[in-house]
């Protein structure tokens, strides 16, 4: 098997040196070049033909986001953002997903050398995952078209129902397309998107500005209620619990499951236990198998279950595992998911 060729783009010479030296120690990765600005990066892309690009947002002469907007329609290449959690770079990194970035890794804000060394395992895994993503559909176009908004009134009896959604690589774009289409009276929804801390909060805030429903990062004790979507916070495990006569989320520190915190399986298994036949589960685009076992438990408990189809998944890993394991009763294209979920909710008995 050939090694994944990586080009590192960062304005810091220290970062370039640590990342290039560190990644060279992974047998499946070959660093083919480093660039201190995007103009040098473009030269190396054309001469070295890397499989994956690591990119910082805050760059001299032209920032990484502007570069990404120009690059992807002309020369699509999987991009892993190496970004700070603070300042304008964090907000721009979140926006980068709308222009073709497929993964993000936190750049430490202090003790740069030790912090970068400790993040190399995470970065190497995301580089390997990114290398499997087909970004050719970004050429001259956006891959996820907007889905028409669904007006309120379709769900008169949804207060006792719960929707659980899990996603990873490519999920930010897929979730935005789905959630912005949902009606204001949507059943209470809990979402796990594999994403680092801080970014989940910013993702929720951005969606809240765009959606007909309220969207917020989940906090321990939040109600799962009609017209509200809760995004599981990065770095924490999130479950649905029953408290009195209502559903709530329990957000707490916990070991990673399937390599993730939050984990889709943790969410889905809790929904299977406390909601059962009054729930809908959906697995979206992503690398790996997180969510497959949990979705099967949901289906076995009486929940209705869906997974995104291969044609519209940026990476057909998690949906494929959910389908092959028998957790998903149906595979659905991205643009059909909102109506499919609403249809299942409407057919449930109150």
What's the burial of 203, exposed, middle or buried (CB within 10 Å: 0-12/13-18/19+)?
A: buried
Q: How many residues does the chain have?
A: 350
What does the alpha-carbon distance between residue 249 and residue 223 come to, in Å, rounded to a whole number?
7
Residue 318's alpha-carbon distances to 52, 72, 106, 328, in angstroms, are 21, 25, 23, 11
What does the alpha-carbon distance between residue 108 and residue 113 come to, in Å, rounded to a whole number?
9
What does the alpha-carbon distance between residue 218 and residue 202 come to, in Å, rounded to a whole number?
12
Structure tokens at 157: 């009896």
Query: At what angle are helices 88-96 and 199-210 packed, to 10 degrees?
Result: 70
| SS3 state at 229 | strand
Residue with tokens 């222009």: 99
Residue with tokens 């050719």: 136
Active-site residues, by number, are: 168, 194, 290
User: Hey, how many other C-beta atoms are within 10 angstroms of the C-beta on 27?
Assistant: 8
| SS3 state at 125 | helix
User: Hey, how many other C-beta atoms are within 10 angstroms of the C-beta on 301?
Assistant: 19
Residue with tokens 């290449």: 77
């Amino acid at each position: 098997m050939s090694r994944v060729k990586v080009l590192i783009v960062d304005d810091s010479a220290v970062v370039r040196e640590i990342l290039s030296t560190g990644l060279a120690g992974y047998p499946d990765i070959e660093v083919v070049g480093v660039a201190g600005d995007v103009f040098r990066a473009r030269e190396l892309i054309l001469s070295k033909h890397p499989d994956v690009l690591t990119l910082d947002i805050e760059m001299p002469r032209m920032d990484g986001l502007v570069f990404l907007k120009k690059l992807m329609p002309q020369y699509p290449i999987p991009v892993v953002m190496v970004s700070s959690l603070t300042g304008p770079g964090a907000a721009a990194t979140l926006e980068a997903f709308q222009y073709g970035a497929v993964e993000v890794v936190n750049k430490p804000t202090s003790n740069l050398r030790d912090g970068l060394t400790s993040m190399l395992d995470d970065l190497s895994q995301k580089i390997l995952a990114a290398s499997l993503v087909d970004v050719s559909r970004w050429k001259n176009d956006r891959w996820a078209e907007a889905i028409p908004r669904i007006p309120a009134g379709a769900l008169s009896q949804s207060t006792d129902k719960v929707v659980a959604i899990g996603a990873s690589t490519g999920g930010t774009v897929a979730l935005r397309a789905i959630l912005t289409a949902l009606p204001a009276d949507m059943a209470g929804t809990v979402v796990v998107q594999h994403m680092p801390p801080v970014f989940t909060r910013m993702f929720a805030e951005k969606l809240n500005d765009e959606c007909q429903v309220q969207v917020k990062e989940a906090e321990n004790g939040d109600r799962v209620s009609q017209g509200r979507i809760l995004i599981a916070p990065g770095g924490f495990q999130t479950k649905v619990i029953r408290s009195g006569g209502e559903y709530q989320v329990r957000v707490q520190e916990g070991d990673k499951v399937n390599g993730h915190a939050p984990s889709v399986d943790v969410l889905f298994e809790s929904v299977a236990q406390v909601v059962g036949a009054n729930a809908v589960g959906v697995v979206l685009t992503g690398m790996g198998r997180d969510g497959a076992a949990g979705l099967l438990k949901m289906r076995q408990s009486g929940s209705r279950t869906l997974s995104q189809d291969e044609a519209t998944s940026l990476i057909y890993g998690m949906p494929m595992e959910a389908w092959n394991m028998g957790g998903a009763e149906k595979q659905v294209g991205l643009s059909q998911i909102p109506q499919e979920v609403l249809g299942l909710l409407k057919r449930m008995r109150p």
